[in-house]
Amino acid sequence: MSLWVVLDRDGVINHERNGCVRSVTEWEPIAGSLEAIAALTHAGFKVAVATNQSGLAKGLLTVAELEQIHQKMCDDVERLGGRIHGIFYCPHDSHSGCDCRKPRTGLLDAIEAHLGADLVGAPMVGDSLKDIQAAKAKGCQPLLVRTGKGTQTETTTLLWPHYGTDTRIFDDLAAVAEFLIRNH
Ligand SMILES: [Mg+2]
Ligand SMILES: [Zn+2]
């Protein structure tokens, strides 16, 4: 049985930038996040990334630039002995009504279809309410990190009883990995 984990990208793996991360030079990993992915790989987890990239629709970066960023992210993880099995992104903006932009589940459906994963019950890590909502809509186990927008999400949203009860909260992806490895 494979253990899948879905990660949001911005605010979970790398630091957020005002607007969006537009190039490889603007892509800056959060301390310990790449090591956390490598640790998950070593422990038998398969990691996929699901990320909203509305900067594409807004013309802030091109698909080629986004793919360069993702190549660097995968290379850096592989250098540490880890592996990202797939990166799925929504290129649309919030007005498009697409099925892939989180909180909708299209990216998660695509991970299942293309990678042969079964994500029901799988942990999904994010820093925004949209991630938590997508996780719940798909039947994943929602995990919130306090990096990126996470602290704001925790203080504003998770006080709502509906979101607070089954969402586990961690300081960062390193703490998530430690928890998942200890408890799987
Ligand atoms: Mg995020
Ligand atoms: Zn979309």
- Confidence label for 34 from pLDDT (cuts 50, 70 and 90): very high
Q: Which of 124, 121, 131, 50 is nearest to 85 (CA)?
A: 50
* Domain over 3-183 is classified CATH 3.40.50.1000: yes
DSSP H/E element including 132: helix 129-138
81, amino acid identity: G
List, in order, residues 6 or more apart from 79 with CB less than 8 Å away: none
Domain spans of the chain?
3-183
Known active-site residue 8? yes
Task: Give the global pTM.
Answer: 0.96
Average pLDDT of span 22-43: 97
Q: How many A from CA of 79 to the centre of ligand 1?
A: 24
Per-residue confidence (pLDDT) for residue 64, from 0 to 100:
97
Which residue is it, tokens 């990993």? Answer: 29
Residue tagged active-site, from 10, 127, 131, 172: 10
Instruction: For residue 103, say if its preceding peptide bond is cis, omega within 30 degrees of 0.
Output: yes
Per-residue confidence (pLDDT) for residue 136, from 0 to 100:
94
Distances (CA, A) of 3 to 13, 41, 83, 116, 130: 19, 10, 13, 12, 23
